[in-house]
Amino acid sequence: MTTTFTPRRLQPGDLARTASVGLRTRRMRAALSALGIAIGVASIVAVLGLSASSQAGLLAQIDRLGTNLLTVSTGQDMTGKDVALPKTAPGMISRIGPVQQVESVAALKAKVYRTPLIPAVNTNALSVRAATLKLPEVVRTSVARGRYLNAATATQPVAVLGAGAAQRLGFDRVFAGQRIWLGGRWFYVAGILGPATLAPEIDSSVLVGFPAAQRYLGFDGNPTTIYVRSQTDQVDDVHAVLAATANPRNPGQVAVSNPSAALVARAAAESALNGLFLGLGAVALLVGGVGVANTMIISVLERRSEIGLRRALGATRGHIRVQFLAEAVLLAGLGGAAGVACGALATVGYDALKGWEVVIPPEAWAGGAGSALAIGGIAGLLPALRAARMQPTEALRTV
């Protein structure tokens, strides 16, 4: 009577132990092979995580600052010359129904220095602007030091520094009697503003009151930029009529913009730039896959005796094929797991440094781990087929 043995399929536990033999006995080689996979996956996770965190932080900032700020500024005529806004423009704009707040500034030709001893060419790219009394409220900035202009100080030689202007002039605090040389005379410093994200031109400006500008700096009274806050659900409607309201005679010579749109565009530009870094991560992942394939090919050559012995004891070609394929996938999976952990840690650390909310999209870690496993399977396929094709007698010749 002849007994026929039907080869059984490897159980998951047995397959895991068998597949890990090569990795446990050649730890340094396995670690170096997994390193390429880990670098590629870490790059992908970190890039996608940092991009998502950055965009979330930017959108949260836009929500805090509001999307209902519009700016009206001087345009140009047919010859390219700047056309001043009418003095009546702020008052006319304030009559538009959905408009909630209107404040304005005017660029002045005066120069500002720390002392009159500084050469005139060293302007530090600072500008002097006349400003109305509720400007910080409209552009959503705050007074970091001292105080802003009021009805009394707006008529006197008193100035408030933008965040960048204070830094360039060397001021980090405000004390009694502090002065700057502005327009050929001394102006007292009343305060320093915080950063104005929606109005970056304010950061590099020194602000004085409209009455003081007319009295001491020869200001003609025409605003150059008007900041308008409208009802959020009617921003587009207000935008459509601002130019004609500000300058009814020549609405085409008025520029109207929405500063928050520039922030949204910046987020889109950052997303486009992330494609380059994702490409670099994919290249690193591909190089890691080549390393896994090379490791598995060498492993097959070194383990001929093992393959022959297992075949002689009854292992089928399918058993050998699944063993080496599982070993490649396990190697790539370990590298992918390490890469996901490193990418997540890099994202958390950088977000904490920037003060952003930590956001790691599911597609970042799932895609990184999945691509690592897929590359491991592809890289291990050829070595697994090569090992399965070995005849027991040929393999045992190396014993």
Residue spans of alpha helices (H) in the chain: 12-25, 27-65, 89-94, 135-139, 163-169, 200-203, 210-216, 235-246, 259-302, 304-312, 317-354, 362-388, 392-396
Q: 276 pLDDT exceeds 70?
A: no
Q: 275 pLDDT exceeds 70?
A: no
Q: CA 123, 129, 132: angle at the middle one, nearest 5?
A: 160
- 287 and 248 fall within a common domain: no
Q: State the average pLDDT over residues 268-275.
A: 58
How far, in Å, CA of 250 to CA of 301, rounded?
Answer: 83
Q: Which residues contact 232 (CB under 8 A, 6 or more apart)?
A: 66, 67, 68
Question: How high is the pLDDT of residue 212?
Answer: 95
- 288 and 190 fall within a common domain: no
Distance (Å) of CA 268 to CA 45, 52, 361:
19, 11, 17
Q: 219 pLDDT exceeds 80?
A: yes
Which of 226, 259, 292 lies at the terminal end of a domain, its last residue?
A: 259
Q: Which residues of 315-342 are buried (b: 16+ CB within 10 A; e: fewer)?
A: beeebbbbbbbbbbbbbbbbbbbbbbeb
**Has this prediction a pTM greater than 0.75?**
no
**112 within 8 A of 265, measured Cβ to Cβ:** no
Q: How many domains does the chain have?
A: 2
Q: 12 pLDDT exceeds 80?
A: no
Which of 214, 241, 259 lies at the terminal end of a domain, its last residue?
A: 259
Distance (Å) of CA 143 to CA 140, 146, 148, 149, 256:
10, 7, 7, 10, 27
Higher pLDDT, 145 or 265: 145
Q: 3 pLDDT exceeds 60?
A: no
- 167 and 78 fall within a common domain: yes
Q: What is the tens place of the pLDDT at every residue in 238-254?
A: 989 999 999 888 888 88
Among the listed residues 55, 67, 44, 9, the one whose alpha carbon sits nearest the alpha carbon of residue 275? 44
Q: 7 pLDDT exceeds 60?
A: no
- 175 and 81 fall within a common domain: yes
Which range of residues forms the domain containing residue 318? 12-62+264-396
Question: How high is the pLDDT of residue 188?
Answer: 96
Per-residue confidence at 56, pLDDT binned at 50, 70, 90? confident
How far, in Å, CA of 399 to CA of 62, rounded?
Answer: 71
Among the listed residues 320, 247, 324, the one whose alpha carbon sits nearest the alpha carbon of residue 292? 324
CA atoms 230, 236, 240, 243: torsion sign: positive
Task: Indicate the average pLDDT of the chain.
Answer: 81
